Structure 1
């Protein structure tokens, strides 16, 4: 595969200045407020966004590096395949969060439910549309079937800090 370059469209400002102790998913960050500060030259692209209650944010895990193809994720005690987890240590380091949009002021989006690290580079924004984004039919959650609700209380620790034996 050919590498490609991604240019951030802005930066995320959140109260989470350290990876340890932060929420592991937006469901555990419902009271956490933050902002997406979009590059001023892209502000016109925010037109009509205020009509949406939620946004999908794609961002870079800028403080994570390396990865392991198997790891012990939050909410479990045994090793799982990387792509069956939401670990921040990934080959491309792309994060995804669905957050609540509370206001738009020029090039600044006010958000609730922020679970990302402060100063994370924002890669893209998409409006969350349940008819598009909620799959129909039989939905299975694999190994998370019995533990996903624990994400509301679980906080991050140091398990995803790069170790010497990683890529």
Structure 2
């Protein structure tokens, strides 16, 4: 079975290289930016302004070929790719939760970006606290690195 996705827009951020990009949206280095939706999809943005946050689903367009074991940014031990958020995946799909500042036609102004400039956008979903927030959740091996993502920047290990 072939699965084909086409971008619905592009993400504009100040991060031109991996070396200055944060590894998660919660980072102190995350930034404001824009999401430009192709005009043919603009109608799909109706009612989005009522949400404070959005889930961006995008293509890791500069990721290395897939690896099943990776050395993640927040650990020193190799981990199975499905226990990480590394971009070198069988399907190089990323997701980030960003804050929504405003919408002007087909351009969304967002906060807390951790995404490279010119990243192809696959989809947008609203962040719904009742569905998406799980205070009782446990973060596996990430628990030992709690808070470290706020200070960690990317590097070239996945490019």
Deviation at 1:21, TM superposition (A): 2.3
TM-score by length of 1: 0.91
What's the secondary structure of 1:113's corresponding residue?
strand
- Farther off after superposition, 51-60 or 63-72: 63-72
CA–CA separation in structure 1 for the residues paired with 2:117 and 2:48:
23
Q: 1:53-83: CA deviations, max 9, x gaps?
A: 0000000001113021111111111111000
> Secondary structure, in 3 states, of the residue corresponding to 2:102?
strand
Q: The residue matched to 1:83 in structure 2 has which SS?
A: helix
Q: In the alignment, which residue of structure 2 is the partner of 1:102?
A: 101
CA distance in 2, matches of 1:90, 1:121: 16
> Counterpart in 2 of 1:59?
58
State the distance in 1 between where 2:29 and 2:63 align. Answer: 23
2:22–2:29: 8 Å Cα contact kept in structure 1? no
Query: What runs of 5+ residues in structure 2 fail to find an aligned partner?
Result: none
**Runs (4+) of structure 1 moved beyond 4 Å?**
none
Q: What CA deviation, in whole Å up to 9, does each residue of 1:9-36 have, x standing for no partner?
A: 1000000111122100000156501101
Secondary structure, counterpart of 1:28 in structure 2: coil
Rounded to whole Å, the distance in 2 between the matches of 1:119 and 1:111 is 15
Contact 1:25 1:115 in 2 (8 A): yes
3-state DSSP class of the match of 1:34? Answer: strand
Q: How does 1:1-167 map to 2 (within 5 A)?
A: 2-28=1-27, 32-135=31-134, 138-161=136-159
User: Contact conserved, 1:32 with 1:114, CA < 8 A, in 2?
Assistant: yes
Name the SS of the counterpart of 1:122 in structure 2.
Answer: strand
Question: Secondary structure in 2 aligned to 1:144?
Answer: helix
Taking structure 2 as the reference length, the TM-score comes to 0.95
Question: Is the CA contact 2:54–2:99 (under 8 Å) kept in the aligned structure 1?
Answer: yes
* Distance in 2 (alpha carbons) for counterparts of 1:60 and 1:148: 26
C-alpha distance 144-31 of structure 1, shift in aligned 2 (>3 A): closer
Deviation per residue, 1:66-113 (Å, 9 max, x gap): 021111111111111000000011111100000000000000000000
Over the aligned positions, Cα root-mean-square deviation in angstroms equals 1.3
